[in-house]
Homo-oligomer: A and B are copies of this chain.
Amino acid sequence: MKKFVNSVDTMLTESLDGFVAAHSDILLLGEGHKFVRRRTLKPGKVALISGGGSGHEPLHAGFVGHGMLDAACPGQVFTSPTPDQMVEAATSVDQGAGCLFIVKNYEGDVMNFDMAAEMSEGVMQVVTNDDVAVEDSLYTTGRRGVAGTLVVEKIVGAAAEEGRGLAELKTLGDRVNAATRSMGVALTSCTVPAAGKPTFEIGDDEMEFGVGIHGEPGRRRDRLKGADEIAKEICAAIAGDLGGKMRGKALLFVNGFGGTPSMELYLMYNATRRIFERHGVEVVRSLVGSYVTSLDMAGCSITLSMLDDEAARLWDAPVNTAALRWGV
């Protein structure tokens, strides 16, 4: 295993210490590394809290700050955070207007966020499930929540900043999730530090089509194809699933899984944008980079999120987090 690490046991806490130290102008670390929260809270605002297994950085702690999340709870690598983490985060950031949990659809996450919601008052939840690759999977009943979660967190975060109420934010989050579809492909496996070896074996001429963000299986193992062919199949899967919803304006988000450099991601952006535009989609917003990762996995996912005027306006609203920053 080739990683910058001192000990597998302390890797997460050392990284969190560095993360919060590097962004101490906007962030605080909760006791026992249980959560990362905004340094400054806004009285009367609904608190947005997310979290999940680590290894997907910058998701979620990189999206804590003005205009996005109030707190994020990091579990161990690819392992759900525990309910007490979410309860303590909620206690720390609740400003009397309630909390919205934004949860990726994985059984462990859903169970633990549910338990935390039951142990708290004034909590509602949005569960994201944007991955069109597979119905049900190794860790989910129903579809997996993947990179589209960023879009939900950004748009709902902006609306929360405007002072909207809990139920309205829950409705908005569900609406954004329903307008968002993703699919990914892996060229290499990730390596979980505690395992010390690649999660799956893959040949030099192979790719995993529809891979999950933990390296879990997708639709099929296939021979490695050219970028345009890969783009064509991903776009077709997204288009087939969106059906009649795929008209008008959209955000195109090309997400790297951690081991794929920027040059390749922009090439995939170029390929997928042309295809969606030929389908009549107007790409009015773009995001390209490694935002929802799988440790060091080489690969990428494509997310298309249909934007009405309100969603576009909220996407553009100021955001000041470690990983996304504009308008401030």
Report A's interface with B, CB cutoff 8 A: 2-7, 11-12, 14-19, 21-23, 54-55, 57-58, 62, 187-188, 204, 207, 224, 226-228, 230, 258-271, 273, 286, 288, 290, 293, 295-296, 298, 300, 325-328
Contacts and interface: CB of A to CB of B under 8 A. Distances in A.
A201 to B, nearest CB: 14
A314 to B, nearest CB: 18
Contact of A273 (B3, B12, B21, B325): B21
Most buried by B among A4, A22, A55, A261: A4
8 nearest A-B residue pairs (beta carbon): A18-B270, A18-B266, A57-B262, A22-B286, A18-B269, A258-B261, A4-B264, A2-B187
Contacts of A268: 4, 18
Nearest to A186: B2
Nearest to A322: B288
Contacts of A14: 227, 267, 270-271
Nearest to A264: B4
Contacts of A300: 4
6 contacts: A4-B265, A6-B271, A14-B267, A18-B268, A21-B286, A22-B269
Contacts of A224: 2
Nearest to A57: B262
Given A4-B230, A230-B4, A293 B57 contact: no
Contacts of A188: 2
A17 B296 contact: no
Given A187-B2, A267-B11, A270-B14, A57 B296 contact: no
Contacts of A62: 262
A321 to B, nearest CB: 11
A308 B22 CA distance: 19
A62 B268 CA distance: 17
A57 B267 contact: no
A286 B20 CA distance: 11
A274 to B, nearest CB: 9
Most buried by B among A3, A62, A226, A290: A3
A44 to B, nearest CB: 27
Contacts of A5: 226-227, 264, 267
Contacts of A4: 187, 227, 230, 260, 264-265, 267-268, 300
